[in-house]
């Protein structure tokens, strides 16, 4: 006898109800990816320091031209609501009080990875491309480099570049605010 296992995939509405009803709490480190509620990797001190540096560097570089979002959800689809380490969002006076940002609101997503880089490359970055997020950076702390992704399509990103210490990274939306890779990596 063959047993078929059927997965119950959740929608973002289901996910939000789980939060509202206390099944999940704001302290749970989870995100909704392709209908599955996944535990996020623990944040080590090197990862946390990189996020703090990027927060400061981005806020300085873009000022009020964008909102720097730190570890907040982005609504990609009915079944995916990741929480990237940082994102630059279109400025809005209400700071997205009524709903999480949608792909058209996102100027840049940054994922910082100390141990999750394979998952980020294989799962999250393709989701961002399919949703039409114009640019993603993967700060790969283990490899001491930054990968930039642009030109999204349903098949992935058409342009991928690696940046190393001694080079600079600049968001396509703000080419006038380059950041030295060494300043990001620490």
Is residue 131 a part of any domain in this protein? yes
Q: Could you tell me the CATH number of the domain that includes residue 131?
A: 3.90.1570.10
pTM: 0.94
What local confidence, expressed as pLDDT, does residue 82 receive?
Answer: 97
Is residue 61 a part of any domain in this protein? yes
Residue numbers of the domain that contains 114: 42-185
pLDDT band at 120 (very low <50, low <70, confident <90, very high): very high
> What average pLDDT does this structure show over 51-56?
98
Distances (CA, A) of 37 to 10, 84, 120, 166, 180: 8, 15, 15, 39, 35
Is residue 134 a part of any domain in this protein? yes
- pLDDT 10s digits, 61-92: 999 999 999 999 999 999 999 999 999 999 99
Report the domain count for the chain. Answer: 1
Angle at 113 between CA 139 and CA 125, to 5 degrees: 75
């Amino acid at each position: 006898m063959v047993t078929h296992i059927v997965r119950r995939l959740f929608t973002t509405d289901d996910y939000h109800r789980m939060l509202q009803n206390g099944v999940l709490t704001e302290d749970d480190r989870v995100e909704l990816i392709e209908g599955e509620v996944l535990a996020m990797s623990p944040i080590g001190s090197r990862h946390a320091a990189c996020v703090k540096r990027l927060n400061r560097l981005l806020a300085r570089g873009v000022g009020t031209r964008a909102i720097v979002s730190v570890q907040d959800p982005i609504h990609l689809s009915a079944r995916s609501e990741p929480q990237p380490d940082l994102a630059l969002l279109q400025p809005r006076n209400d700071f997205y009080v009524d709903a999480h940002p949608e792909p058209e609101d996102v100027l840049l997503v940054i994922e910082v990875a100390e141990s999750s880089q394979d998952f980020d490359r294989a799962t999250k970055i393709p989701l961002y491309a399919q949703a039409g997020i114009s640019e993603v950076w993967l700060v790969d702390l283990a490899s001491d480099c930054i990968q930039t992704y642009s030109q999204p399509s349903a098949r992935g990103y058409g342009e991928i570049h690696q940046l190393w210490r001694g080079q600079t990274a600049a968001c396509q939306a703000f080419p006038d605010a380059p950041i030295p890779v060494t300043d990001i990596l620490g």
